[in-house]
Amino acid sequence: MSNKPRIAVLGTGIMGQPMACNLAAAGFDTAAWNRSETRYQALTKAGVQVMSSPADAVRDRDAVVVMLSSGPVCEEILFGDSHQPAQGCQGAVHAMKPGALLIVMSSIGRNEAIDLAARSQVRGLQWLDAPVSGGEKGAIEGSLSIMAGGTEDAFERATPILAAMGRPVHIGPAGTGALAKLVNQLTVATTIAAVSEAMTLAEVGGADPARVREAMLGGFAASCILEQHGQRMLERNFTPGGPSKHQLKDTRSACDAANELGLDLPLLKLTDQLFSDLVDHDGGDLDHSALLLEIRRRNGLDDY
C-alpha cells in the first residue's frame, strides 16, 4: 500500500482538471468534485475518483487542493451550508479529518486568504494559500509556478503534492502566497495591455505585427506574454486559457490590496479599467489576451 497522502481536488475546470490528472499520474490516490460534470470523463480516464459532493470528496483525505474560481466561491464550498443540507454539513471543511492539509490554489485576495486560514486553523487544519501562474499550458505540463503562504511545516508537508503540479516556492506566512499571485497578476495584466497596444501601433503604422513580434522576441521586450499571448493576438485566438473575467477579479483584488496598504499604483488602476471595459463589452469569457479587442474598440478599429 502506498504511503503517499490521499488527495481531494475541489474544482476541476480549465486548470483543476489537468492538475488533478497530474496528481493521479504521480501516484497519489486522488478524488475530485466539480460543480459541472462536463470534465468527468477525462478525470475518470486518468484514474481520478469522481465524487458527488465536496464533503464526499474530502472525507478521510490527507490533503485537499482547492481550485475554484474566486474567494467567495471558496468560502461557500469550504464553509457554506448549501451543498450538504440533507447531511447537515456546513461546508467541506466540516467533513475533513483533523490535521488534514488544506491547500487553496485559487486566486483569492490577501485578506480573504488570511481569514480563511484562521478559520481553517480553528477547525484543526493546516493551511496553505498556494495560487499558481502558468495558465492551462502550465497546468497540463505540470510546470506551474506555485506561490505558497503558510507555515514552514505546512509547506514541507505539501511540497511533494505541489511538486506534481509545478514548482513551489514558500513566500511566507498565510496570505503572502495570495499577495504574490496578485503581484504576478498585476505584472501579467499590465504586460498584456502593453503588448496589445504595441501590436495595434505596429499594424496601424504599417508594420507587420508578426514580424515586429519576431524582432521583439530577440531583445529586452521578450516575455512569455509576448511569446504566447502575442501569438494569440496575431491569430485572434481568444479561446480562454485564462478568462478575462478572472483577470479582472485579480486586478480588482490587487487594487484592493494596494488601497489597504496606502499605495497609488496608476498602471494597475488603468489596466483594471481596461479589463473592466472589455468585460462590459461581452469579453468576459474570452482569454485575457483579448484585451487587444478593447484597445482596438477604443481606436475605432471595428473589424470584429
Q: Which pLDDT value is given to residue 2?
A: 67
Place of cell 493576438: 233
Tell me the pLDDT tens digit for each residue of 84-103. 443 444 699 999 999 999 99
What is the pLDDT confidence band of residue 3, given thresholds at 50, 70 and 90? confident
Tell me the pLDDT tens digit for each residue of 24-47. 999 999 999 998 877 788 899 999
45-71: burial string, b at 16+ Cβ within 10 Å, e else: ebebbbbebbbbbbbebbbbbbbbbbb
Residue 6 pLDDT exceeds 70: yes
Tell me the pLDDT tens digit for each residue of 211-229. 999 999 999 999 999 999 9
- Residues 263-277: what's their mean pLDDT? 98
Residue 304 pLDDT exceeds 70: no
Closest CA to 181 of 105, 268, 68, 118: 105
pTM equals 0.87
Q: Which pLDDT value is given to residue 90?
A: 65
Q: Which pLDDT value is given to residue 47?
A: 96
- Residues 48-72: what's their mean pLDDT? 95
More confident residue, 80 or 230: 230
Q: Which pLDDT value is given to residue 106?
A: 95
Intra-chain end-to-end CA distance of the chain, in Å:
57
- Residues 276-282: what's their mean pLDDT? 97
**Distance (Å, whole) CA 285 – CA 271:** 18
Mean pLDDT of the chain: 93
Tell me the pLDDT tens digit for each residue of 123-180. 999 999 999 998 899 999 999 999 999 999 999 999 999 999 999 999 999 999 999 9
Sign of the CA dihedral with 12 first, then 74, 240, and 304 last: positive
Q: Which pLDDT value is given to residue 180?
A: 97
What is the pLDDT confidence band of residue 303, given thresholds at 50, 70 and 90? low
Residue 281 pLDDT exceeds 80: yes
Active site residues: 181
DSSP letter for 59, please: T
